[in-house]
Amino acid sequence: MSKKILYKNQTTRKLSRNEKQRITIANLALIPSVIKNYIDTLVKVYRPTFTYKLKVEFFYYIIVTIIRRQNTYENKALENIPVALNATVLRGIKSDYNEYIDWLIEQEVIFKAENYVAGNSSNKYCFANFILPSLKEDSGSEIVEMEALKSNTIIVARSIEESEVYEDNKHLLKWFNDGLEIDFERAVTYIKDLSYYEGEIFDLTHKKVHWNHQILALHHKAFYATRNEESDFRLHTTLTNLKKIFKPFITYEGQELIGYDLKNSQPFFLIFLIDSIINNNDRISYILSKVYSKKTYNSFMLQNLRKRLSTESFQEEYKMFKTWVLNGEIYENMESIIKPKKRLGSYFANKYNARKKVTEIKKVDDVRALMKGVIFTLFFSGIKTRNSNYKIFKEAFPNLVDAIELFKGNDNAVFSKLLQNIESECIIDFVSRKIAKEYPEMPLFSIHDSLSTTENYALILEDLMPKYIFEYTGLTPKIEEEKWKKHHYQVDYVKRVELHPEWYAYNDF
């Protein structure tokens, strides 16, 4: 069987036009109690008059969507950042959706932070200063049902089995059931007593709002799953947005979970991408055509890439970089090029704060973390970045960086989307599907570039994951074990308690 046929048989089915016009939302949602009570009281006393029949559940839906969008990988700081709402989805649920948003703004529940500029930005919303103090003081949440929003165009999924992505990803999503549990009381106590996080002491109150939302979703089995072929194509679930600090509290049917991460996954998939273009791999051809427009993919970009990749100067640089990545020595070798210097016993990096639109100096724990930041800048910054480390690396690998910049074109975000699509096709649609077919009784959970299972299946997963990654890519991966119960953050926590007992209430971890 050819690679092309094998690949197509395992690709997630595309939705028909009629299916795309229908919108699926989860029935169960978590909303902060203080906001729900405030909205319920105002609706009862000062009932708003809208164009169509009032559905108070739509207020809840807007609030929950803002929290969920704030609770993403991009918002690592878990701040009250402004987030965009999908107007197409909102309009599909309620054609008069703007009246609901305007009412929430008038009641000082949310705040419109950025005006729409055609072609540049969308309206963005966050919680208003009026509601924030109450939200921080009372982090309790309530489960609400969205059944009232059901219509001819709206499907309300009463369980994860009814989500629009379930059938195509059943081999992973079927394990989101009553067996997946969190030690809720210990997790709540952990959040309550935590005052020192990621090397800094600062106000954690808004983080704790998000953390409570994450663990409550697991506690109440409010499972959800999404996968957008038009975006990163990653499978997003209740677990993918869970902070690592809560992994020690998660079990499946009482058993510890053990995960295996693909080390240096983004550089690894870059190597696969370049090798595949050189060798005309059908898998990559399909993904490229999906991510880029036909005009870009079929003409200028691909021609220029193949020309660039075939030069002797590129091959020289690429051979060295590829060796670093596959040997798991990329960060150590990059250090010898960047030659970072310590100041006051620590490393510091310039990081651009998109919300404040300024570059800030941030303390970095160690040189490895600093080099990871350099890779992140190399892959995901704009080609006009002024980052000094980017320039140093480009001087050492001018041809490699030029090739990466060709992938970025006028939009650096498209390269990130490309690598995430490759990762997702490999891990979700090939590796995990192969493992699930061979061992259908094995619980299997994905978190982007990693797969996890229960302790009694760990050795099987450890053996099969690199085997099938190699089968997909032709490259030998480095896999790293992660025991959820013994997550490194727990070690850090204990260590910091010993060093700074005045900052902690130690909870017998």
pLDDT in tens, 136-190: 777 678 899 999 999 888 889 888 998 889 999 999 999 999 999 999 988 888 8
> What are the start-end ranges of the H helices in 279-309?
282-291, 294-296, 302-309
| Per-residue model confidence as pLDDT tens digits over 29-44 | 889 999 999 999 999 9
Residues whose CB is less than 8 angstroms from the CB of residue 275 and which lie 6 or more positions away in sequence, other chains included: 281, 473, 474, 475
Banded model confidence at residue 1, pLDDT cuts 50, 70, 90: very low
> What is the CB neighbour count within 10 angstroms for residue 332?
13
Q: Is the pLDDT of residue 469 over 90?
A: yes
Structure confidence at residue 299 (pLDDT): 62
Q: Is the pLDDT of residue 422 over 60?
A: yes
Two structure tokens written together for 413: 């975000």
Q: State the Cα–Cα distance between residues 180 and 189, nearest whole angstrom.
A: 20
Q: In sequence order, what DSSP letters do the residues of 25-90 get, joined into one string?
A: EESEEEEEHHHHHHHHHHHHHS----SS---HHHHHHHHHHHHHHHSSTT-TT-----EE--HHHH
Q: Tell me the whole-structure pTM to 2 decimals.
A: 0.81
Banded model confidence at residue 2, pLDDT cuts 50, 70, 90: very low
Q: How many residues does the chain have?
A: 509
Banded model confidence at residue 21, pLDDT cuts 50, 70, 90: low
Q: What are the backbone angles phi and psi of residue 431, rounded to the nearest 5°? A: -65, -55
In degrees, rounded to 5, the angle at the alpha carbon of residue 470 between the alpha carbons of residues 468 and 473 is: 110
Kindly provide the b/e burial profile for residues 468-501, where b requires at least 16 CB atoms within 10 angstroms of the residue's own CB.
bbeebbeeebbbeebbbeebeebeebeeebeeee
Q: Is the pLDDT of residue 490 over 60?
A: no
Q: What are the backbone angles phi and psi of residue 19, rounded to the nearest 5°? A: -65, -40
Structure confidence at residue 360 (pLDDT): 62
Phi-psi domain of 421 (left: phi exceeds 0; alpha: psi -120 through 50; beta: other): alpha
